[in-house]
Amino acid sequence: MAVVLIDLHTHSTVSDGTQPPAEVVASAVEAGVDVLALTDHDSTAGWEEASQAARTLGVTFVPGLEISCSRDGVSIHLLSYLHDPDEPNLAATLKAARDSREQRAERMVELLAQDVDITWESVLEQVEPGATIGRPHIADALVARGVVADRAEAFADLLSARGHYYVRHYAPDPAEAVRLVVGAGGVPVMAHPAASSRGRVVEDTVIEDLVDAGLAGLEVDHVDHTPAERAHLRELAARWDLLETGSSDYHGEGKPNRLGECTTSPEAFDAIVARARGTAVVR
């Protein structure tokens, strides 16, 4: 039987990916992906375009989202699958996060402009209208101006969360986000829970707290996880009866992550679909 490639975490120009939603779908088909989720940061604005492209190109499409959360100053990302995008409580939280991100980006650029060649206009040139703005867009403006070579170099220093120019934005507590996703009929899965290479990660007790709130799964296989981190997450998933997923976290040219490099089992995918109440899979 043919292997089915299921990749449940990707980004488009609706957030910090570098390809529009339809191009992400086309690239997924080229990479041999059979089931694809689009999970832009704090926005579902890419669903429609991706759905249409998926129907045309014959790939199964899973509407998704990645919610930026924060607990005690630690950044946590929560994936949501198949929720109702019109559910007002979740929609309002996402809108508040996007608005706060806009102010925060402007403030970071103000601080950066004291020391490097950057303007707010040059950052806006890097953002599609209506997209969720983030540090990657500031990085792209720095690249365009020749201040740094690529996003990675920008994040290593100028845009680092420990750096001089970092400003926080509003982000819900992850337990609240889990409840919002469940309330919108979605399936919440914690993204890259143990990726210590990305910055500080939370204690297992925080994950347990999210389980109590209704967390459905853990993204175990992610390029930022070491083999030891994956083994530990598998133990946690078994202990708390959670689904295990694997995904690429593709950002186009914005990151080295390649489509389909980590994947989810058909059994885990079927379990996600069976739990969802908000939106249908596009087949």
Strand order in the sheet with 35-38: 6-7, 35-38, 60-71, 74-81, 187-190, 217-221, 243-246
Most distant CA pair in the chain: distance in Å? Answer: 60
List 181, 191, 215, 268, residue binding Zn ion (CB under 5 A):
191
Nearer to Fe ion, 56 or 197 (CB): 197
60-71 and 74-81 beta bridge pairing: antiparallel
- For residue 170, what are the contacts with CB-CB under 8 A and spacing of at least 6? 96, 97, 100
| Piece of the chain touching Zn ion by CB under 5 A; list 49-57, 160-168, 187-195, 204-212 | 187-195
Tokens of 263: 């994947």
**Smallest separation (angstroms) from Fe ion to the CB of 2:** 28
List 16, 34, 49, 84, residue binding Fe ion (CB under 5 A):
16
Residue 7 found at the interface with Fe ion (CB under 5 A): no
- For residue 164, what are the contacts with CB-CB under 8 A and spacing of at least 6? 111
Partner from Zn ion, Fe ion, ligand AMP, none binding residue 18, C-beta < 5-8 Å depending on class? none
Nearer to Fe ion, 37 or 59 (CB): 37
Nearer to Fe ion, 16 or 34 (CB): 16
**Smallest separation (angstroms) from Fe ion to the CB of 223:** 11
The counts of H helices and E strands in the chain are 10, 7
Nearer to Fe ion, 152 or 238 (CB): 152
- For residue 87, what are the contacts with CB-CB under 8 A and spacing of at least 6? 180, 183, 184, 185, 278
Q: How many residues bind Zn ion (CB under 5 A)?
A: 2
**Smallest separation (angstroms) from ligand AMP to the CB of 131:** 12
**CB 37, CB 6: distance < 8 Å:** no
Q: Which residues bind ligand AMP (CB under 6 A)?
A: 16, 41, 68, 134-136, 151-152, 155, 251, 254-255
Q: 3-state DSSP helix/strand/coil percent for the chain, to nearest 5?
A: 40, 15, 45
Nearer to ligand AMP, 190 or 237 (CB): 190
**Smallest separation (angstroms) from ligand AMP to the CB of 256:** 9
Residue 77 found at the interface with Zn ion (CB under 5 A): yes
Query: Exposed (0-12), middle (13-18) or buried (19+): which is 101, by Cβ within 10 Å?
Result: buried
Tokens of 82: 């198949």
**CB 108, CB 138: distance < 8 Å:** yes
Nearer to ligand AMP, 21 or 136 (CB): 136
Tokens of 26: 């086309």
| Piece of the chain touching Zn ion by CB under 5 A; list 108-116, 185-193, 233-241, 272-280 | 185-193
List 59, 249, 264, 279, residue binding Fe ion (CB under 5 A):
249
| Piece of the chain touching Fe ion by CB under 5 A; list 10-18, 54-62, 110-118, 258-266 | 10-18
Nearer to Zn ion, 77 or 135 (CB): 77
Residue 40 found at the interface with Fe ion (CB under 5 A): no
Tokens of 273: 């679909």
Give contact residues for Zn ion (rule: CB under 5 A).
Answer: 77, 191
Give contact residues for Fe ion (rule: CB under 5 A).
Answer: 16, 66, 249
